[in-house]
Amino acid sequence: MATLGHNTKTDQELYEEQKFLEGFKNIKSLESDMAGKKGDIGAEYKRLKDLGWSKKDIEFAKSLEDKDSGQIIADFERKIRIAKMFGHRAGRQLEMLDEDRTPQVDRAYDEGFAVGRRRGDASNPYHAGSQEAQSWQKGFNDGNELSNKDLAAAVNDQQPD
């Protein structure tokens, strides 16, 4: 039976080294993919910046998807309170958090329009056959129609040569 010398490795050591090298290769590949994705994300941010949108706008939009409306309103109320503490004009002029007086049928349309525009789930949240359900569906359809429209061509046709 041969004894292990200083150049001989156990099966466990060989296994661990094999897994290390596999992991190393995978990590390098994933980092390369991630660099490409980061480049794509950066290009998208630049495209939006050229249209006047900022990274903060994107972060705000993400927060709207992640938070419920009560939490968003509480965030706005806190910011208005801080603005008032500093005597800032925003603290005196923003009354947007008053009770929503939009009729329910109009609100349903706006909700459906927003979902359709984002190509979201077509599950109508209102009772089938109700005016709100019909209004939500019309908004959803109109939002989808707008998403499908080639607005780039329309905007570019209006640009002076």
Q: Are residues 35 and 58 in the same domain?
A: yes
Per-residue pLDDT band at 161 (split at 50, 70, 90) = very low
The answer to whether position 12 is within a domain reads no
Q: Are residues 130 and 118 in the same domain?
A: yes
Q: Are residues 54 and 72 in the same domain?
A: no
**What length is written for the chain?**
161
Average pLDDT over residues 96-123: 83
The answer to whether position 161 is within a domain reads no
Pick from 8, 43, 65: which residue ends a domain? 65
Q: Are residues 106 and 134 in the same domain?
A: yes
The answer to whether position 57 is within a domain reads yes
The answer to whether position 42 is within a domain reads yes
- Find the domain containing 91 and state its range: 67-98
Q: Are residues 31 and 59 in the same domain?
A: yes
Q: Are residues 82 and 59 in the same domain?
A: no
Q: Are residues 115 and 82 in the same domain?
A: no
Q: What is the mean pLDDT of the chain?
A: 84
Q: Are residues 108 and 140 in the same domain?
A: yes
The answer to whether position 118 is within a domain reads yes
pLDDT at residue number 144: 87
The answer to whether position 35 is within a domain reads yes
The answer to whether position 158 is within a domain reads no
Q: Are residues 85 and 116 in the same domain?
A: no
pLDDT in tens, 113-139: 988 888 888 899 999 999 999 999 999
Angle (CA) 132-127-105 rounded to 5° is 10
What is the per-residue burial (b if ≥16 Cβ within 10 Å, else e) of 50-69? eeeeeeeeeeeeeeeeeeee
Per-residue pLDDT band at 87 (split at 50, 70, 90) = confident
The answer to whether position 14 is within a domain reads no
Q: How many domains does the chain have?
A: 3
Task: Please say if the pLDDT value at position 1 is more than 50.
Answer: no
Contact between residue 112 and residue 85 where contact means Cβ atoms under 8 Å apart: no
